[in-house]
Structure 1
Amino acid sequence: MSDGALVAPFEIIPFEIMTKKEAKQYFDWFVLQIPTRIDTLIAHYVETLGGGKEELDLSQESLVNLWKWFIQRIEMVPKTKEELEEDVDAAPDWLKEEVANNTLKFSEFTSSLIIDVGIYFGSVFLNEMRTLEWGIIHKPKKYVYVNRPIIIGFKEAGLNPIAVVNNCSLRELNQDPDDTRLFNLFNVWKGYL
């Protein structure tokens, strides 16, 4: 992939403490990046013999080809001693032991791919359902995706497609691999319309 990570040209602070203005600045920048990130993902898919460009046409069906290709590229790397200590310090007492045993993280390359696959996943929703759009929720501050770009227009909640892909990637490592995992989740979320 060309430039890898999605890096904003300004300092990013934790979403939970962003002002409405800072969140809007990030959101506007993020939305501008979407076409480039999708083009980068498709080019990488074609270059690594995932298949032809026409296979990633932002249709629900394209999620099967994309996921099949992506799960072959999930890489885990050891956390640094500092990262591990930070994770353990941040965990509640009852979870510290489990967190301490979780010594791996996604590689930087995989993390970048997760963002791009997430953006693609979100874009499939927008392509298939015109009632949805990228949006941002500022309140309540305790909302799990406060100030983050999410897909809005569902009845109950907003969809954070990057978080969904991240969680699916973890599931892929900890459960039986499933080529249709992302496709199936698309159907689950369709039920929330």
Structure 2
Amino acid sequence: MMITTDYFAECFVGEFSTIKWGFVSKPNSLAYVNKPVLLGFKTGVELDATNIVRNLTLKVASGEKDYQALLKLFRVWAESV
């Protein structure tokens, strides 16, 4: 799963010059505090690629088949750049 996560995140970094890797150190209640996330979205929200790809993987494992899910997700986030 790590390869897919890295690929998904690096697509943003390669496509948009405003998107960069970074860390969020607070609040501690965030699932991705002190873990690498993507920063630079207009909304101010950080993209936690690991959890996003994990959630898609769980949907596939439970039988949900959407072969365009990752691309759709990329497009949704791309609108916030």
Aligned-pair identity (%):
31
Structure 1 counterpart of 2:20: 133
3-state SS of paired residue (2:35): coil
Unaligned residue ranges in structure 1 (runs of 5+): 1-113
* Residue correspondence of structure 1 range 24-173 to structure 2 within 5 A: 114-154=1-41, 155-173=43-61
- Once residues 189 and 161 of structure 1 are traced to their aligned partners in structure 2, the CA distance between those partners, rounded to angstroms, is 11
TM-score (norm 1): 0.40
When the two chains are superposed, the root-mean-square deviation of aligned CA atoms in Å is 1.2
Aligned residues: 80
Partner AA of 1:157 in structure 2:
V
- Equivalents in 2 of 1:160, 1:168: separation in Å? 13
Superposition TM-score, scaled by structure 2 size: 0.89
Q: 1:161 & 1:138 partners in 2: Cα distance?
A: 17
Q: What letter matches 1:190 in structure 2? A: A
The structural deviation recorded for 1:175 is 4.1
Q: How much does 1:176 deviate?
A: 2.8
4+ residue runs over 4 A deviation: none
Q: Deviations over 1:10-65 (max 9, x none)?
A: xxxxxxxxxxxxxxxxxxxxxxxxxxxxxxxxxxxxxxxxxxxxxxxxxxxxxxxx
| Displacement after TM superposition at 1:190 (Å) | 1.2
Which amino acid counterpart does residue 143 of structure 1 have in structure 2? L
